[in-house]
Amino acid sequence: MQENPFNDQVSSIVATLSCIFKAQERKEYVKILDAASPAIEETEYDNWNGGTYYYTLFLEVSVEIFAMIESALSKHESEIAAKLQAVVRENGNHILNRVVIRPQLVEPAGSVAPSHSESERAQVVWAGKPIKVFISHQHADKVAASNLKTVLSKFNIAGFVAHEDIEPTLPWQSEIKIALNTMDVFVAFLTSNFRNSKWTDQEVGFAVAKKTLIIHIRDGQDPYGFIGETQSLSLPIDQDEKLGMEIATILLKNPTLKSKVRETLFVALENINSHNFACKIMKLLQKAGVITESEIQRIRDAASNNSWVKGAFTIKNFLAANPPLNEVPF
């Protein structure tokens, strides 16, 4: 088979077609092209006059999109093919002149978990929480990773621990990629076990390339490579509550995340079920800068509605020092 001259142009060709249809306000074609996984394959050969090679642009779309356009499939293929021939005109004896739209094949029911979009899977992976922390660790440190995840959840912060957050029926590498793609923060347990894993260095590389905030916990392994340039905490990984507090403190100082983390902590306080963690959240908020009058009122309301907040001594002391304005003696 002749070398395919269109291989390096597939993405550009499809993007150009999409732009043309968009300029013409033909949204249904833009949707098909933007959602498709494209490929160009040789599908015919004519040996007359030195030989001519004919190619087809295959557009694989989701079953949902295919079902919507199936009744007008030939029309859609013809319209895109006509535009394609205007975009890719002469290429010697190589002619790209046909379009086939086909559905992505799905596994039989019962063999894998139902297919979901990456955004839907991300919601499941992160339990819908607003701040997402990927905890990179070697398998031997899984208990400490799981304990840190539990602590972070008390602050309304999601932690991802690969060995326990992936459903058995789902392709585990895909789930890890989703977590890496959607994380806000990357925490690495630099223990003596860290480099024994086949995956931790790849996870670090992903976080560096994505320019994610990286925090490494130094406990037996000196930082190396790119990770040496990131924020460091020197603590034993089994000190999960202290680690959680230190990580939250770092996030509250991060220019990109601090506002989101502050709001996250207020939501955590309103829903807390522990005196200990109500006090910890209050301490974090006090470290985070000036607490406004409206935020103080929010803490008062939380104390009125949640007995765990009301009974936390740190909050009792804070509210005693910040009475409502109409209760301040003259």
For the chain, domains (ranges, CATH) are 7-103 (3.30.300), 118-255 (3.40.50.450), 272-330 (no CATH)
| Per-residue pLDDT, 115 | 47
Q: How many helices (H) and strands (E) does the chain have?
A: 15, 8
Residue 245 near residue 282 (C-beta atoms within 8 A): no
Kindly state the average pLDDT of the residues 15-40: 92
Residue 252 near residue 280 (C-beta atoms within 8 A): no
| Per-residue pLDDT, 311 | 95
Band of pLDDT at residue 133, cut at 50, 70 and 90: very high
Closest CA to 247 of 219, 269, 213, 215: 215
Q: Residue 252 above 60 pLDDT?
A: yes
CA-CA distance, 6 to 43, in Å (whole number)? Answer: 13
CA-CA distance, 260 to 44, in Å (whole number)? Answer: 56
- Of residues 263 and 224, which shows the higher confidence score? 263
Residue 268 near residue 306 (C-beta atoms within 8 A): no
Contacts of 41 (CB under 8 A, 6+ apart): 4, 55, 56, 58
What would the 3-class secondary structure string for 75-129 be? Answer: HHHHHHHHHHHHHCCCECEEEEEEEEEEECCCCCECCECCCCCHHHHHHHHCCCC
| Per-residue pLDDT, 90 | 65
Closest CA to 318 of 267, 284, 272: 284
| Per-residue pLDDT, 171 | 65
Q: Residue 7 above 90 pLDDT?
A: no
Q: Which amino acid, residue 325?
A: L
Band of pLDDT at residue 112, cut at 50, 70 and 90: very low
Closest CA to 321 of 294, 298, 300: 300
| pLDDT single digits (tens) 187-240 | 999 998 888 877 888 899 999 999 999 999 999 888 888 777 778 899 999 999
Count of C-beta atoms within a 10 Å radius of residue 136? 29
Rounded to the nearest integer, the mean pLDDT of the chain is: 87
Q: Where are the beta strands (DSSP E) in the chain?
A: 37-46, 52-61, 94-103, 131-136, 157-160, 185-191, 213-219, 231-233
CA-CA distance, 176 to 172, in Å (whole number)? Answer: 6
Of the given ranges (39-53, 80-94, 107-121, 200-214), which has the lowest mean pLDDT?
Answer: 107-121
Q: Are strands 131-136 and 94-103 parallel, antiparallel or unpaired?
A: unpaired
Percent of the chain whose pLDDT exceeds 90? 57
Residue 190 near residue 163 (C-beta atoms within 8 A): no
| Per-residue pLDDT, 111 | 44
Band of pLDDT at residue 281, cut at 50, 70 and 90: very high
Q: Residue 168 above 50 pLDDT?
A: no
Q: Residue 114 above 60 pLDDT?
A: no
Copy the structure tokens of residue 204: 């670090």
Q: Are strands 52-61 and 37-46 parallel, antiparallel or unpaired?
A: antiparallel
Band of pLDDT at residue 116, cut at 50, 70 and 90: low
